[in-house]
């Protein structure tokens, strides 16, 4: 099965030629056991993606047999896709679950941003984010058919580029249904920050950063 249509591959090739600056690593953690519903499919999708441009590199790790990498990238479940600069061990930009549907677009935007390692955020958001001095984890619960979720995911991941203390995770709520239920996810995007601050909806940079600042102060 082909995951990326031929016309989409052509479009992505043009996008990467236009926007990519430095090489990017896609670090994928999977399980080779039967307990992972979409590990195989995620690996197939990412293999197709990295074949489009030589500046994209796919590193695949067996979660159960790669304790060093699991610890280095702070991986808690699978499939997990982590976007980082080439050769840099950095687990701050994560996707838990297959980045399909609308979230495939989030993945492409992340690749562009990580390649340039620069993002655009509002001046107010930038000021608030620079005040974050302790570890912050943003979890954005999504579903593949949610058209508003990519904005929330993209904003969270941009914040991780702005401040090294911020880790941002996309979590596919249908794949990790039990976790989503425990958090109280009833609509998406549902965002939690350090487990203490929660809100629903794709917020502008300023509002999102205010929630991060609230978690930073608690």
pTM for the structure as a whole = 0.96
d(CA 127, CA 38): 39
Please say whether the beta carbons of 165 and 136 come within 8 A. yes
- Residue span of the structural domain in which 17 resides: 6-116
- The verdict on residue 1 lying in a domain is no
Q: What is the mean pLDDT of residues 89-112?
A: 97
Compute how many other C-beta atoms are within 10 angstroms of the C-beta atom of residue 189. Answer: 25
User: Mean pLDDT of all residues in the chain?
Assistant: 97
Classify strands 24-30 and 190-193 as parallel, antiparallel or unpaired. Answer: unpaired
Q: What is the pLDDT of residues 68-91, one digit of tens each?
A: 999 999 999 999 999 999 999 999
Nearest residue to 175 via CA among 146, 144, 149: 144
- The verdict on residue 101 lying in a domain is yes
Task: Please check the confidence at residue 38 and state whether its pLDDT lies above 90.
Answer: yes
Q: Judge if 14 and 95 occupy the same domain.
A: yes
Q: What is the pLDDT of residues 1-24, one digit of tens each?
A: 799 999 999 999 999 999 999 999
Q: Judge if 10 and 108 occupy the same domain.
A: yes
DSSP letters along 122-171, please?
Answer: -HHHHHHHHT--S-EEEEEEE-TT-TTHHHHHHHHHHHHHH-TTEEEEEE
Total domain count, the chain: 2
Q: Judge if 22 and 62 occupy the same domain.
A: yes
CATH number of the domain at 148, please.
Answer: 3.40.30.10
Looking at per-residue pLDDT, the higher value among 35 and 23 belongs to 23
Q: What is the pLDDT of residues 135-152, one digit of tens each?
A: 999 999 999 999 999 999
What is the per-residue pLDDT for 1? 79
What is the per-residue pLDDT for 158? 98
Q: What is the mean pLDDT of residues 90-107?
A: 97
Which residues 6+ apart lie within 8 Å of 142 measured at CB? 102, 103, 149, 150, 152, 153, 170, 171, 172, 173, 188, 189
Note the helical H segments in the chain: 6-19, 39-50, 67-72, 102-116, 123-130, 149-162, 177-183, 205-217
Q: What is the pLDDT of residues 114-142, one digit of tens each?
A: 999 999 999 999 999 999 999 999 999 99
């Amino acid at each position: 099965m082909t995951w990326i249509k031929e016309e989409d591959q052509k479009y992505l090739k043009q996008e990467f030629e236009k926007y990519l600056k430095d090489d990017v690593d896609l670090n994928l953690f999977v399980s080779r056991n039967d307990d992972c519903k979409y590990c195989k499919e995620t690996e197939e999708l990412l293999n197709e993606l990295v074949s489009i441009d030589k500046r994209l590199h796919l590193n695949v790790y067996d979660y159960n047999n790669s304790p060093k990498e699991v610890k280095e990238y702070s991986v808690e479940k699978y499939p997990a896709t982590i976007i980082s600069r080439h050769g840099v061990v950095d687990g701050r930009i994560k996707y838990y679950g297959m980045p399909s549907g609308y979230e495939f677009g989030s993945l492409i935007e992340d690749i562009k941003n990580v390649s340039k390692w620069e993002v655009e955020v509002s001046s107010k958001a930038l000021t608030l984010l620079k005040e974050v001095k302790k570890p912050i984890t943003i979890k954005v619960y999504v579903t593949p058919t949610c058209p508003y979720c990519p904005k929330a995911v993209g904003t969270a991941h941009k914040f991780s580029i702005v401040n090294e203390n911020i880790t941002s995770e996309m979590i596919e709520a249908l794949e990790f249904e039990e976790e989503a239920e425990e958090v109280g996810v009833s609509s998406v995007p549902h965002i939690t920050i350090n487990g203490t601050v929660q809100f629903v909806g794709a917020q502008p940079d300023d509002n999102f950063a205010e929630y991060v600042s609230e978690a930073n102060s608690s």
